[in-house]
Each structure stands twice: as structure tokens, then as C-alpha cells.
Structure 1
């Protein structure tokens, strides 16, 4: 699930506790967590609903000024309408991870072992190091990939604390720079 920055700030502050989405099949599960730009968001509940069942209180809890504004946003899109309960679940643990570049030998070896299974990892890390802040579509094209498959790969690197997203594109984190040097020295 994607959220606009204002919605994320409302979730973090506890003002927004609901979201509504139209999906062909649920795009989230109750009890699951979503990583966002402002941290982790827990999905507390998910249930099918209808436009007719929405209330002004639902609209307010979803961050809308009125029920009409919520219904206008949901419009006539295809798919089943879902009511999703939300709660802020804490900071993104990857933020602290990517700043940690004081790695002991065992930790570095574990990261390198994970990257050894990703034949594309060195190429992508070098590409981002050479061109920080470049649009994902451009980096993907240069790697001979579509944008979405490329972004999925970068998320794997991000989960290890090696990259960070910018307004546009990516850059290596301090940990990513250290790991990239270790990868180069291996070869």
C-alpha cells in the first residue's frame, strides 16, 4: 500500500487510523506491517465494505475533510472496496542499519554471503554509487531491466541497509559504501 506523505504523518501522529482501497484481491493482511518513508505501519484490520456504508467518521479517521471528499477519491474505480485499520508501529529499522558501518568481520561476511547469491548486486551497487539521485527508470534501463523489477532488487539491497531512497533515485548508505568496497576487494 502506498501512502502520501501527509497521510503518513497523520498515521504517525495517530490522527489517521483508516484507509480505503479498491482492490481485485486484498493488497494487505490484518496483522501485517508496511514499511513506509516514515516508518512501519501496522494493518490492524481489513474488511470489505461499500461506498454506501461509509460514514463521516470514517472519512475523518481516513484524513478526509468530508464524506463527499472520501467518496470522490474512491470514485468509480474497479475492484472491491476495503476498509483498512492502521496504526503507527515504529521507526524503520533500516534507517539505523544503513548508518551502521562499524561492522565486525562476522557481520560483513554474512552480508557478503547474502550478496553472493544475488548475481546482480555488485553491478547495481556500483551503478548507484556512480549515479546517485538518478531516476530508477534510467538506472533500470542501463541495467537492461524494467523499472519494477529493478526497484524490487533495490528493495532487497535496502533491506540490508545498503541503499537509501532519495526524492529522486537512490544513493549508497554509509554501510553500502563499506560493503561495496569489500565486494570490490573480493574480486
Structure 2
């Protein structure tokens, strides 16, 4: 389930507690969590509803001003069911605790290097991880489309690749583009500091 930055941050502040989706079949279930740009989001309840029952209070709880604004966001076929999803904040993205850790041991450096080697080995186009990290370091905030062009890949491919780097705690997503996390920057510096694993 995807949330816009505004909505996700509203959930994190406790201001947004509902979301509405029109799906042919329900894609979420109560008790599950997912990651958003604002951190962990908890799905507290899911209920199939008649969209005609959405109230102004519901709209406000979903971060909208009017019921019409909520209805305008519903995608899918008009005959598909609508779901009322109750949300709460589950805490910061646990990957950021890793991303913020710039105090790398030699084992950390070697482990990250090995993880990058595995990503490179599985890529049909050959090694890409270190070049991508260095381009992000050189141009934080570069638009994804421009970064993709520099690497000679499609934008969607770039975004998938950067998610893999983010899962290792090496990059951060900005409002526009990306930046190295403290951990990513420390790893790139590590070979110059005499640590293994580059």
C-alpha cells in the first residue's frame, strides 16, 4: 500500500488515521505493517464500505477537506468495492537506525562490500552498485530521471536498484532525488581509510 508523503507524515503526527481505497480485491489486512516515507505504518482495521457512507469527519481523518476530495482519489473500476482502512504510526523506519550508523567496523565494511558484490553478480547489465553510490555522492538531490540517464538505465530500473541500496542502509530518499546515508558515506570513505571491503 502506497501513501503520499503528506498523508504518511500526517499518520506519523497522529493527524491522519484513515485511508480509502477502491480495489477489485482487498490488498491489505488488519495487523500488518508497511514502510512509508515517514516510517512504519500499522493497519489497524480494514472494512468494506459503501462510499456513500463516507462522512466529512472521515474525510478529515483521511487528510482531505471534503468527502468529494476522498472520492476523487479512488482509483479502479466504479463497480469495485471500496475499503476503509484504519491506520496508526508504528515508529521510525528501522532501516534508518542502520543508515545513521557511520561507525563502521572492518567487518561492517566487508559485509557491505559482499552484499554489493551479490547485487552486482545478479545484475544482467553487470556491476552497478558502486557507480550508483558514487554518482549519488557526487550529486545529492539529482532527479531520478537525470541520475538514470547518467547510468544509462530506465528510471524504473534505477528506482528498483536504489531501493536495494536503501535496504542496506546506504542511501536516503529526498523530496527530490537521493543522498547517501551516513552509513553509505562512511562505506565509500572506508577504502581510503585503509579498511577492507571496497
> Which TM-score band (shorter chain)?
0.7 to 0.9
Corresponding residue for residue 130 of structure 2: 122
| Structure 2: distance between partners of 1:48 and 1:92 | 29
SS at match of 1:117: helix
Instruction: For residue 123 of structure 1, report the CA deviation from its aligned partner.
Output: 2.0
Do the aligned residues in 2 keep the contact of 1:122 with 1:183 (CA within 8 Å)?
Answer: no
Structure 1 residue 110, shift from structure 2 partner: 2.1
Q: Cα gap change, 1:27/1:139 in structure 2, threshold over 3 Å: closer, same or farther?
A: farther
User: Following TM superposition, by how much is the alpha carbon of 1:31 offset from its aligned partner in structure 2, in angstroms?
Assistant: 2.7
Which sections of structure 1, spanning at least 5 residues, go unmatched?
none
Poorly superposed stretches of 4+, deviation over 6 Å? none
> Partner residue of 1:178?
186
**Bigger mean CA offset, 155-164 vs 9-18:** 9-18
Structure 2 runs not aligned, ≥5 long:
121-127
Residue number in structure 2 paired with 1:105: 106
- 2-side partners of 1:75 and 1:31: how far apart? 24
Displacement of 1:186 in angstroms is 4.9
Residue equivalent to 2:69: 69
Contact 1:47–1:84 at 8 Å: present in 2 too?
yes
SS of 1:118 mapped into structure 2: helix
Q: CA deviation at 1:129?
A: 1.9
Structure 1 range deviating more: 92-101 or 133-142? 92-101
**1:48 and 2:48 are equivalent in the alignment:** yes
How many pairs were matched up? 187
